[in-house]
Structure 1
Amino acid sequence: MAKMIFVNLPVSDLARSTAFYQAVGGEKNPQFSDDTASCMVFSDAIHVMLMTHDKYRQFTSKKIADAKNTSQVLLSLSADSRDAVDETVGKAQVAGGAPDPSPIDDYGFMYGRSFEDPDGHLWGVMWMDVAAATAAQSSTAAA
């Protein structure tokens, strides 16, 4: 069985966050969602659990960080093309997120941008031409 990842995020407004993540490509799985959490599916292997603060506190006694003021994790999703990177960041902006809180990365064979969700969680979106990256790495190693 392939490994899966479940990213758990505390959110201040579950309905707003659910709508935001649907806008950037997540599909809500009603089987694992209720009035305290939304399970947002990005792929067979990637799930984001949006949890109210009360729900999140059931899993840790640590203080919930304010992601608008502190950073604990940087999350990143892959995209199928440069255009898909721009499209995802554009959708995030339209849905109430902040585009490009981090510098845009453009190395020709790799392109990445970022957005901040309404609670301040930082997400990167990146595309890479694996063949070009491999060729670039091979030519550097040969030099």
Structure 2
Amino acid sequence: MNATCVSTTLGLAPWNNSTIIQNDMPGKEHPMSTAFYLNLPVKDLAVSRSFYGALGFAFDERFADENMDAVVISDTLSVLLLVEPYFATFTTKQVADAGTSAQALFAIGMESRERVDELLDRALTAGGQPAGEDRDLDFLYGRGFTDPDGHQWDIIHVPAAG
């Protein structure tokens, strides 16, 4: 099935050949939603915007105000940077301090080892800190950094099989 899935929220480019099979309807395929929004609490929105801009990412200004900004990672993934008090309005849980605790680890796949190294160099130049051990395995090359708020990111390249 060649299903074309479009995120109507951001008007993103279609992602072809994407389907999801729902468990309640065996054998029935449905187009898969392709937009993913990762919400991250940040202490200083201007510092975070400067950091992610220095990595070369664009911003979706439709989301920009004094409480949030949207970093466009790809045509299907955006990271919403929310100042901590605003982030707290979306949950009844305590907002974790990413500088002292790990709630999640995030990974971005790149098309080459060189792009992994390039993005890490940009992150470190922009004020990020190295994180974790570099990995150079047969099936994966990866390096990591933390952003100004302590969120840990891995940058990986997985060569094509064969």
CA distance in structure 1 between the partners assigned to 2:97 and 2:138 by the alignment: 35
Q: 2:132 matched to 1:97? A: no
For 2:118, what is the secondary structure of its paired residue?
A: helix
In the alignment, which of 54, 57, 68 is matched to residue 26 of structure 1? 57
CA distance in structure 1 between the partners assigned to 2:118 and 2:57 by the alignment: 14
Q: 2:146 matched to 1:122? A: no
What's the TM-score once normalised by structure 1's chain length?
A: 0.87
Which residue in the other structure is 1:10 paired with? 41
For 1:17, what is the secondary structure of its paired residue?
A: helix
Contact 1:85 1:113 in 2 (8 A): yes
Which residue in the other structure is 2:104 paired with? 73
Contact 1:115 1:122 in 2 (8 A): yes
**Counterpart code for 1:90:** D
Greater CA drift, 103-112 or 79-88: 103-112
For 1:85, what is the secondary structure of its paired residue?
A: helix
Contact 1:25 1:42 in 2 (8 A): no
**Counterpart code for 2:152:** L
**Counterpart code for 2:39:** N
When the two chains are superposed, the root-mean-square deviation of aligned CA atoms in Å is 1.1
In the alignment, which of 83, 89, 92 is matched to residue 58 of structure 1? 89
**Counterpart code for 1:126:** I
**Counterpart code for 2:60:** N
Q: How many residues align?
A: 131
| Higher RCO (Cα < 8 Å, 6 or more apart) | 1
More helix by share: 1
**Runs of 4+ in structure 1 displaced over 2 angstroms?**
none
Which residue in the other structure is 2:16 paired with? none
Deviations 1:48-80 (A, max 9, x none): 000001110111121111111100100000111
> Structure 1 residue 25: deviation in Å?
2.8
